[in-house]
Amino acid sequence: MVSTEAIKSVIAEQEAEMIEKFERENIIERENQSVVTGYLKPNIALIITGLRRTGKSVFSFSILKGENFGYTNFDDERLSDLNANEMNKVLEAIYSLKGNTETFLFDEIQNVYGWEKFISRLVPNHRIIITGSNATLMSRELATRLTGRHLDFVLFPFSFTEYLRFNDFEPRREDVYLTSSIAKIKEYLNTYIEMGGIPEGISIGRRFVLQLVNDIVEKDVIQRYKIKYAKKLKELSHYLLSNFSSEISYNNIKNVLGLRSVTTVSNWVDYLSSSYLVF
């Protein structure tokens, strides 16, 4: 059981870390940010889902920047023992720190069993943004408790335009006809195709992206769905990621990986898709 004072300490530290991140890093406005912001109002919870490390927290924080709002990230081991019955402690901690705010940002709240009941109680009179990294868990729970009272948005890794802005390169329309600009754009495009648009992957490098994939498979699929044959699941994820844009069949995958059932393949692919690792 976590005390309200302990939760308050965690929340204060989390917000300080986010503020420092904004001061330290190059934070760009995402392409759909103004659209999402326009829907922020009471009685509608905004659900921001997507692949881990695509910037959901930063995106949501950017929407609320400059306002007085409560922020809690539940993907924190210090809050891992929280359950739905203790969520009122989170509210108490936020009110103690921020006053009587009507706006909340909850990161990875699906880690708290029964979270949807808590959100359902808050939605009518509060502006709420929720982030999550598992499409199936979020949609199933939202459909149960928040029917007609939520809007879902998927945040993808940087588009190529966002990637250029992240690298402080924003060519004017007339610049695209200059040989020097064309060469620079092609150079950025080659790197983008190789590395992708995950912000930290761009800054840190390919090794970060590879580790991220491993973490998603382990945490969001194997552990969450209690996969018994973890090695085979990892082989499946590697196979799918290595054969992108290729035509494949579940039966073919079953034979390649030596699995007994097409149903198992289908379920595993659904799990990987729910974690936004494949589409």
**Confidence (pLDDT) at 135:** 67
Residues 165 and 150 in one domain: no
Q: Residue type at 161? A: T
Let me know if 90 is exposed, middle or buried by CB neighbors in 10 A (0-12, 13-18, 19+). buried
Residue 19 shares a structural domain with residue 130: yes
* Domain match, 115 and 97 both: yes
Do the domain assignments include residue 201? no
127 domain-assigned: yes
- One-letter amino acid at 123 equals V
Q: Report CA 41 to chain centroid distance, whole Å.
A: 21
pTM: 0.89
Cα separation, 277 vs 225, in Å, equals 15
> Does 202 reside within a domain?
no
CA 105 to chain centre: 13
The total of structural domains in the chain comes to 3
Ramachandran sector of residue 25 (left: φ over 0; alpha: ψ -120 to 50; beta: rest): beta
d(CA 81, CA 92): 17
**116 and 83, same domain (yes or no):** yes
Instruction: Determine the residue type at 242.
Output: S
**95 and 181 both lie in a single domain:** no
Counting Cα atoms < 13 Å in the Cβ hemisphere of 244 gives 7
- Which domain range does residue 22 map to? 4-154
CA atoms within 13 A on the CB side of 173: 0
Output the pLDDT for position 73. 96
Same domain, 100 and 167: no
Tokens of residue 258, six digits = 């030596």
Q: Where are the alpha helices (DSSP H) in 196-277?
A: 199-204, 206-215, 230-242, 250-257, 262-274
pLDDT in tens, the chain (279 residues): 789 999 999 999 999 999 999 999 999 999 999 999 999 999 999 999 999 999 999 999 999 999 999 999 999 999 988 988 899 999 999 999 999 999 999 998 888 888 888 999 999 999 999 998 876 656 666 766 777 889 999 999 999 999 999 999 988 777 777 777 888 999 999 999 999 999 999 999 999 999 999 999 999 899 989 999 999 999 999 999 999 888 989 999 999 999 999 999 999 999 999 899 998
Q: 149 with 165, same domain?
A: no
